[in-house]
Structure 1
Amino acid sequence: MAATSVGMLIGDVVVGRAFAPATRERLVLPLLLVTGTPPITLILDLPHPAIVAAYVITGVGSAYLLGLQRRFLEAVPSNLQGQGFALLNTTTMTFQKIGPLVFGVFAEFLPVGLAIALTGVSSVTTTLLLRDAIRPRTSG
């Protein structure tokens, strides 16, 4: 499970350092897809190194949050940004934990690989349904 954290570190450092804020905003949709796609492969009987790689790649995708931060900063008054980010992080973490809870129940009745693959399908489906809201605003 440490593989996801390693991927998150890699993604945050690379995306946060190598790309300008506008580019990070454009990367939100692809990075969300990167987050959701690798778990789908776990329906297969993969060797351990491939499973680790899937989790690292999933973690890299979590850098999508960096692309959302500028929008958030623009929407929240400067005197409330500290509290706003605390609320954003708490809410994000809370909702990110609901999925494992739900799919953990599925894993009681389905093979674990299938339950994990369903998390990926759910993530990709949600991303595609929300793609218009995810795309960066165009100024003009």
Structure 2
Amino acid sequence: MTIMDGARSPERRKQDVLDRLERETDIWVASADSHGVPCLVALWFVWDGEALWMATRPGNPTGRNLRIGRRTRLALGDTRDVVLIDGGVEVHGADEVPAAAAEAFHAKTGWDPRNDSPTYAYYRVRPRSVQAWHEVHELPQRHLMRNGTWLV
């Protein structure tokens, strides 16, 4: 797709976002500490149809920020094919994560944090807002979800 192509319909952009959530393995995770110091890392993820599941150590900056702040911004793509997801965060210890989520994460990534050392936690992100655009001509209709409800 180029800037000369017409804008995708909102329905097409939503489907493209859902396809990417199924297909891609890495996502950028933005968080901030209580002083507003930002942190940005890439983590593996799995999409279960309603939420994204990621895993990291609970004691590292990202784990602490997600646990304390309870929100994040996630990003897929590059500057010409952007997906931004804002969401609320739930933390699940390796011993309390739903088995289906842990198994899906293991199946997609080949890594099972429940068996790793040191202890890892799982972070479930429920999207509250989704934006997607490809080049400037899609900016006016970039909002696909607001307040946890798909607009299309």
Greater RCO structure (CA 8 Å; 6+ sep):
1
Judging by fraction of residues, say which structure has more helix.
1
With structure 1 as the length reference, what TM-score do the two structures score?
0.27
With structure 2 as the length reference, what TM-score do the two structures score?
0.26
Judging by fraction of residues, say which structure has more strand.
2
